[in-house]
Every structure is written in structure tokens, then in C-alpha cells.
Amino acid sequence: MIRKWLKRILGINEIENRVVNLEREKADLEGKVIESEKEKDLMNRAVTRSVSLSEIVNEVQGFLGAVNIQITDQNSGSALVALEATDVIKKYGFERYVAPLEVGYPSQVITIAELQEHPELYMHKLSKGFFHFPVGLNFDEINETLGNRFGSIELDLSTAYSNNGCFTFVLKSLLERVEGSDRANEVLVQATQLSHLRRAKCSSWVHMDTIDFLANYDGIVGYIKDLPDVNTSAKISAISAMEVARFTYLTALEIVGTTRIRYLSDLLKYDKAEESHTITGDIEDYNPNQQLKLKLKASLLFEPKGTSYEDIEKLLSIISMKRFRALASEVTSKILANDKARKGLTYKIDKPLEDYSVGEAVVLASYFARNVITQYRKLEDSVNEIFMGKPSSEISGKCTDYTGLALHYLREYLVPMQPAKFRNWQFGVEQDHIGDYNHCYIKALHINPDLTVDVYFLDPTSLADRGIKELKSPQKVIQGLDAKNFPLMIERDAEDLLYAAKERID
């Protein structure tokens, strides 16, 4: 009673109410600004995608015109009168691709740091597949174009038959189902089956490992050219589909080959001005191949796997974005106040949120999640505590909670405050499932002006083991977030084990 009386006499209640109202007004204003920026961004992205998709269709036509596929009389008349599958294998050299690198792989588990140091040893062996890691390329648009233009053909990454994805097609569909196409399809299916190129028994479809397709490309095209009972127009259509698929794969491999996994400490040093490099319209002095390559790169790098809103929602859902942003603003105000008292992270950075660098914003998002979720607990841990009669009053969460909350805060609260600064950045989730080990963490992607990619990996969950008092500078937080020693699984062949044994014996 005395405490309440003193508060009323001293006007403390009124001051507290004013502070609360000011915080709510601030949160409401921030929410309106952020909402406006998000709507503008969504509209721009929708328009860009619409333009990009139509331009890819046009560029494919220009590319095919420049390729100038020729079918000679010798091709169309002489070759395959009664050729069987075994003859096709011999004539066109169908066989699985064998990497020239002879090296042993003692363990099926490596670290991100090992991949970073020696990509040539591990990239083609990644269990996730090099199109999925470290970037996560998006083939959706090009598959739509291929299907609409040519028929039954797809660059399929979501396959269990190959870690690097499969090139899947029905030859008779690509041959426009003309006379002779059924027999041509049947023989090719048998030939790829006998040569172990076909990765799945699926009716009249051929599923080939991506690398096997590239290695056997000349043989497949040669087979199509030599078909005896198929007209020239249908052959050109099928070969055109193969040409575009091959060019797309090579473009994707160029992105993979030029991607750099950066050290997390580099993120704090990043201070480059961002320029828009949306690839639309005719690009001066570029030939059809270069035009198509740039459009394909932009498409493959649009919303990489793990960076869509739906991907983040699977970690931690948001019912009302408006309410989330208002609460994020209020909690942020409390963190700022606490940091001022304890001379914590935001006090040391000492600048308004809208002036934070990219690295500082990523640090703050992880720090925010650590302030909110104060204790790491898997569901099994919480169940055991209940049975033991030791319920905790801490706010607990597992890796999906830490990562999901940090990503939502970063993408929906911090990034819209500085849209120009984050113009070429994308933030998403990376997940590992290795035996009983399951974990998720953040990947930050920067798309450079030349459409190469820099990737950073960080783990907000790892801050759970560190006290808030330890996390007083961005450098300290970055050290705690470092994911370079996180595990990656590789797929080994029988030969890899024998090479490893031979090296050990030697």
C-alpha cells in the first residue's frame, strides 16, 4: 500500500504509463514503416519475376537460333535400322561418369571448414548435393520454361536417386510423339538401364544423374541424330531440349564453382555500397549465349532453397506479422535499456538500429533470440523435467526456435529498416540430418554484381551456452556464432573405401 501511495504522490505511475504509451506508439510507427517497405519489396519482386520468366523464354529462342543444330542426310538415313540397346551402348559410349580424382575418404562426415579448404575433394560427394549446398539453387522457373517449350523434361533436384539431382525426360515427348518416337524411346530406356545410367525404373521416363547426363551428352545427341524413322523437325526439337538443359546445368555449375564460403569474421568487415543488379532487358554487346546465361543465373539465384518465407515458417510460425513486429519493437526497447545498464552489446555498438551495418544486424538478430530464449531445451529434456517434478521458469527452446526467431527478427524487423543496405542479401535456414544428429542454422547469402555468391553460416543456438554478460561486442558474438566445425555428410562409393585402405596400408 505504501509503495503504491508513494508512486502516486511522486507521479511514478504517470511516468511509467507515458513510457509504455511511447513505446507502443514507437512500435506502431515502426510497424507501419516496415509494412510499407515489405509491400513495396513484394511488388517489386513479383514484377521482376514476371519479366524474368518471359525473358528467359525469349532468350531460349535466341540461344537455339544461334546454336544452329544441323541434321545431315547421313544422320537421318543410314544408321539405326534395327539397332538394339546393347549396340547403342557400344556405339554411343554410354557409361557412368567416373571422377578422375583418386583419393580415399576415411570418414563419411566432414566439416564445413574442410569443404571450405578443399572444395575439389568434397563438393561432388556432398550428400546434400552441390546444387543444394552451399547456396540452394532454384530451378523452378527454368523447369517451367522447359516443360512448356519442349514437353516431358525436368531438371529434378528433389530426388532420392542421386545427391546431385537427376535429369529426367521422356524422349518420345521431346520428339513430339511423331512416327518412330515410341521405338526410339524404348531402345534408349533399355540402353540407359543396361549401362546403369538410368537411376529409377519409371515407365517410359529416363532418370539420369546430372553429371552422368553431362558426360554422356554427346552420345545421347548422337543417338537422336541417327534415329532412322524420325523426321528432322522432331529431332531438332529433342536436341534443342538437350542443348538448353545442358547449358542450364553448366550455368548452374558455374555458380557453384564460383561460390565462396566466407569466414564469419568477414561479415563484420563488410561495408560495400549495394547497387541494384537486376538482370532484365537486352544487355548491350552480349551475344545470345551470354544473354541467356545471365538470365538463368538471376533465375537460379532467386529465392534459393531455405530462404522463402514458407521455409522459415516451418521452423517457427507467425500468426500476425503486425503483432510480431510490435512485440519485437517492445522487446528490443527493453534489451536496449538493459544493455545500457550492463554496458552490453547494443550499448557498445552505440548507434540507432537503422544505422547498423549488415554484420551488426545479423549479430543483433542472434543476440535478440538469445535474450528471448534463455535456455536451450529439446522437447525430450522438457518432458524429463516434468516427470522429475522440476519444471523450469526459463523461456526454453530448441535449435529451430533460436534460428527461426533470429531469422524472423532479421527479415521482418531489421532488414525493412534499411532496404537499400540489404538489397543483395538473402537470409535463410540450413539444416542437417545425419543419423540421430539434427540441427539447423542460418545461411546468409550475398549476391555480387557479377552474380557470384558469398555465403556465411552462423548458429544462433550456440549462444545458448554463453551468458549474456559474455556477449558484449559484435566480435564476441560472432565467435560464438561460428559454424565452421559443423558436420556435413558425404556419399562414398565402394572405391572410396578401397582408396582409403590402400593409402592407409601404404
Arithmetic mean of pLDDT over the chain: 86
- Tens of pLDDT, residue by residue over 453-472, are 999 999 999 999 999 999 99
pLDDT for position 104:
87
Radius of gyration of the chain (CA): 28
Q: Inform me whether the pLDDT recorded for 357 exceeds 50.
A: yes
Q: Inform me whether the pLDDT recorded for 431 exceeds 70.
A: yes
pLDDT for position 18:
47
Are the beta carbons of 264 and 484 closer than 8 angstroms?
yes
259 residue type, one letter: T
pLDDT for position 76:
43
Torsional class of 300: left (φ above 0), alpha (ψ -120 to 50), beta (otherwise): alpha
Nearest CA-CA partner of 381 in 364, 368, 399: 399
Are the beta carbons of 300 and 143 closer than 8 angstroms?
no
Nearest CA-CA partner of 390 in 398, 399, 381: 381
Are the beta carbons of 369 and 345 closer than 8 angstroms?
no
Average pLDDT (177-196) is: 92
Contacts of 74 (CB under 8 A, 6+ apart): none
pLDDT for position 81:
41
Q: With helix as H, strand as E and coil as C, how does 218-273 read?
A: HHHHHHHHCCCCCCHHHHHHHHHHHHHHHHHHHHHHHHHHHCEECCCHHHHHCCCC
Q: Is 359 helix (H, G, I), strand (E, B) or coil?
A: helix
pLDDT tier at 11, thresholds 50, 70, 90: low
The residues pairing with 434 across neighbouring beta strands, listed in sequence order, are 437
Average pLDDT (220-225) is: 95
- Tens of pLDDT, residue by residue over 108-124, are 999 999 999 999 899 98
pLDDT for position 437:
92
pLDDT tier at 161, thresholds 50, 70, 90: confident
- Tens of pLDDT, residue by residue over 240-281, are 999 999 999 999 999 999 999 999 999 999 888 887 766 665
Backbone angles phi, psi at 304, to 5 degrees: -55, 160
